[in-house]
Amino acid sequence: MPHVSRSVTIKRPRQEVYQFWRELGHLPSFMIHLQSVTTTGPGRSRWVAKGPGAPVEWEAEIDEDRPDELISWHSLDGAEVPNRGSVKFIDAPADRGTEIHVELSYEPPAGAAGAMVARWLGEEPNQQLRDDLRRLKQVLETGEVVLSDGSPRGAGEGAFNERPSHADEAGVRS
């Protein structure tokens, strides 16, 4: 299983960052490859992600949940994308907020060929994780993900996913 890991520092209290992440329904707000995450029972959830051509789905179970410190999980048997991982929440030095450390192991759909196509389309998991954590930082520090005209959704999202800004009723571009 390929392994990816990334970290980010978010200028918010550890408890707040943990609680935001632990509410699994929040994850698609900053992980744009996710369509939905639904809690199905104590420690269990159903995940739907955008796949090459069709959505990819799996069930997951939380292995360990230490409030404000750690969440670890694994996908259940039969997952289209078998995966396991953890998120650690640590106080950043000098009262700078919270460090998040994400570790993820996964088996790409369609094996090595699927991994190569994903890289070519700019959807390689290392890139996705970096971009997801950058968007999480924006959401928790500013309340939104900031995009501009012609700006890709993230460095790893590929040119095909560009989205122009739109003016609201007051003429403010978003």
Count of other CB atoms within 10 angstroms of residue 57: 16
Share the mean pLDDT of the chain: 82
- The pLDDT, as a whole number, for residue 111 is 55
Q: What is residue 2's predicted lDDT score, i.e. its pLDDT?
A: 78
- The helix (run of H) or strand (run of E) holding residue 104 is strand 98-106
Task: Flag whether pLDDT at 163 surpasses 90.
Answer: no
Q: What percent of the chain is modeled with pLDDT above 90?
A: 57
pLDDT in tens, 127-159: 889 999 999 999 999 987 776 545 455 554 444
Sign of CA dihedral 98, 84, 138, 121: positive
Kindly report which listed range (19-23, 24-28, 47-51, 100-104) carries the lowest average pLDDT score: 47-51
Domain ranges of the chain: 3-144
Please name which of 29, 50, 26 lies closest in space to residue 38, comparing C-alpha atoms: 26
Q: Report whether pLDDT(169) > 60.
A: no
Q: Helices in the chain by DSSP H: which ranges?
A: 14-22, 111-120, 125-142
Q: Are 59 and 48 in contact (CB under 8 A)?
A: no
State which fold the 3-144 domain adopts. Answer: Alpha-D-Glucose-1,6-Bisphosphate; Chain A, domain 4 (3.30.530)
pLDDT value of residue 47 = 95
* Digit-coded pLDDT (tens) for 45-89: 999 988 777 888 999 999 999 999 999 999 999 998 899 999 999
